[in-house]
Structure 1
Amino acid sequence: MAMLNRTKEDPWQLKTPSGTSEYTMHVDEKDGKKVLVCTVGSTVLLYDARCVDDLHAMLKAAGGWVELGGADEQKPAKAGTVEAWGRSEDNPVGGWYGLKKGLRGRFGVYLPPLMEALGLCDLEHNPKNNRMRAR
């Protein structure tokens, strides 16, 4: 179980894989569920906190590098990417890990740097087309 213990007062300070945008993440509770609160400028996204352990398990099963493929909710995700898995009916929650309708995408953008900060993955930091793999 990943150590998800950062609060709003002491969030993770993260950068997107390409290093172009800064954002924060912390853990909170919503409707009795542990959530990750991702704040990018004035935009707040919510993800089911179990996604960290579930994504780590998926990466371990994949056994190698997996393309991130970050995309907004309104855009299709490239097959075989972290983004596609984060919204797939075949993942452990049977759909979106993103919890805020209209802002449920970008899973492949904002989750990988958190996973790297937690020591759970290796992450590429190229301008585009980054990948990650389980540690």
Structure 2
Amino acid sequence: MAQGSGTKDDPWLLKTPPGTSDIVLYRAPDATPPALVCIAGGTELRYHLRAIEDYHAMLKAHGDWMELGNADEQKPAKEGTVEAWARSVDNPVGGWYGIKKGLRGRFANYVSPVMEVLGLVELEHSPRNNRVRAI
């Protein structure tokens, strides 16, 4: 299970869905824009903080398992996956949930473990092709 409460002083210490990499995440509500900060291998990525609520609502509406579809920003995301939704002009932010160009991808890989620790989703932890569904 996760350690931490999700603040900068007490971040969540999590693993990516396959369990292969450690990640540190915390909420930064006072950032501009408000952010979910992820530190992975020394790289800091930021996603819109509202992604947690929007992602959960999307999964609830979807009503079934959805493939994560992890992909770096420079690679296309497979259609019908969480990663594709997190980049779509049809999502609530009208595009990327990632904030900094060049570091906007891998949303599904880094935000999904937060969703799990918050009790919002059931997340698979296989070596590949993991899926998620709303609770």
Normalized against structure 2, the TM-score is what?
A: 0.94
TM-superposed deviation, 1:109: 0.4
Q: What are structure 1's unaligned runs of at least 5 residues?
A: none
Equivalent residue, structure 1, for 2:60: 60
Q: 1:121 — aligned with what?
A: 121
Render the CA deviation track for 1:88-120: whole Å, top value 9, x for unaligned. 000000000000110000001001111000000
Aligned to 2:21: 21
1:51 to 2:20 alignment = no
In structure 1, distance between residues paired with 2:77 and 2:134 = 21
Aligned to 1:80: 80
Partner of 1:115, secondary structure, is helix
* 1:27-46 → structure 2 map (5 Å cutoff): 27-28=27-28, 29-31=30-32, 33-46=33-46
> What do you get for the CA RMSD once the two structures are aligned?
0.9
Deviation of 1:41 after TM superposition, in Å, equals 1.9
CA distances 1:37-58 after superposition (whole Å, capped 9, x unpaired): 1001210000000000000000
Amino acid at match of 2:22: E
Residue-pair matches, total: 130
The offset of 1:6, in angstroms, is 2.3
Query: Within 5 Å, which residues of 2 pair with 1:71-110?
Result: 71-110=71-110
Secondary structure of 1:122's counterpart equals strand
Query: Given the two structures, how large is their TM-score scaled by the length of structure 1?
Result: 0.94
